[in-house]
Amino acid sequence: MAEAFTQNGLAVITGGASGIGRAAARQAAKAGMKIVLVDVNAAKLALTAAELAGMVGVDNVLISTADVADPAPMVALAQTVIARFGSPTLLMNNAAAFVSGGAGGILDPIENWQRLFGVNVLGPVNGVQAFLPAMLEAGMPAVIVNTGSKQGLTNPPGNPAYNTSKAAVNAYTQNLARDLRERPGCRVTAHLLIPGWTTTGEAEHRQGAWLPEQVIAFMDEAIARDGFFILCPDDETSTTTDRKRIYWNAMDIVQNRPALSRWHPDYKDEFAAFMARDLPIDDGD
């Protein structure tokens, strides 16, 4: 049984100053872990770090304004962290950029695409490259969580750069999990966190959304059950609805339908009828 929040463990959380990352950091503090927070927002980072220091003591909190898109500071951070605290028992690659320029879309400026891929895709890769060698060497149980998105699975029109980056996080994390599974005696596992609609940052909480704390509680339970896909519902979208949407999306390829047929006018009625039926396969629960 894997465990995300382990007493006396070490949590390294990117994007940890806000939202889902901050909720994870608070949960880690409640569990009595040492915490390393990485976030480019220095002001929010200082506020969150002060709160955590009040819970676990100032010596047990380390902060860094490293940009996760940049490998060198992540490697330097890992060296500092490992020398001071040892290797992480929880590495949560959670920071993401939500850049959108112009109208947002296929012709978004290339700089936006590069930034989204730098942070959202190479961020988790950089986190893993920096910390995994020491985690493997420690030979201790440890968990890596990469934060993906339903947008990387069902690909709704609106922000193709973000969707494409999160699809890559899905592909990458599946490869990571398999790689770890195949290593003899390896006690490190990888998991893909797929939040639903979650109120984050300083946004006002709206009906239908989950709070970041709900996402983290759901994640904690899923990891304890050794779940890889941590598909979070919210108060608007049930797990069953998510599974049907994901199934429909996969069946576009199998049935050779047009791309993103869910949003194609010719498939409107068929999609609605499909959503009204039971999922045609065993859902794994």
Which of 5, 162 has the CB closer to ligand NAD?
162
Q: What amino acid is encoded at 252 in this protein?
A: D
CB of 149: closest distance to ligand NAD in angstroms?
Answer: 4
CB of 264: closest distance to ligand NAD in angstroms?
Answer: 24
Question: Which three-class secondary structure state does DSSP give residue 87?
Answer: coil
Q: How far apart are CA 200 and CA 193, in angstroms?
A: 15
CB of 9: closest distance to ligand NAD in angstroms?
Answer: 21
CB of 118: closest distance to ligand NAD in angstroms?
Answer: 7
DSSP 59: G
Which of 57, 201 has the CB closer to ligand NAD?
201
Contact residues: ligand NAD, CB under 6 A: 14-15, 17-21, 38-41, 44, 67-69, 94-97, 119, 147, 149, 195, 197-198, 200-201
CB of 188: closest distance to ligand NAD in angstroms?
Answer: 21
Which of 39, 142 has the CB closer to ligand NAD?
39
CB atoms within 10 A of CB 68: 29
Which of 243, 257 has the CB closer to ligand NAD?
243
Nearest to 255 by CA among 231, 280, 283: 280
For residue 172, give both structure tokens: 């990458």
Q: How far apart are CA 151 and CA 53, in angstroms?
A: 35
Q: How far apart are CA 143 and CA 223, in angstroms?
A: 9
CB of 254: closest distance to ligand NAD in angstroms?
Answer: 26
Nearest to 130 by CA among 97, 98, 88: 88
Strand order across the beta sheet in which 188-194 lies: 61-64, 34-38, 10-14, 90-93, 142-147, 188-194, 229-231
Which of 18, 261 has the CB closer to ligand NAD?
18
Residue whose Cβ sits closest to ligand NAD:
19
Which of 10, 38 has the CB closer to ligand NAD?
38
Question: Which three-class secondary structure state does DSSP give residue 208?
Answer: coil
Kindly list the distances between the CA atom of residue 198 and the CA atoms of 2, 23, 130, 218, in Å, as whole numbers in the listed order: 25, 12, 29, 12
Catalytic residue (choose from 162, 172, 247, 267): 162
162: annotated active-site residue: yes
Nearest to 26 by CA among 52, 53, 44: 52
| Active site amino acids | 162
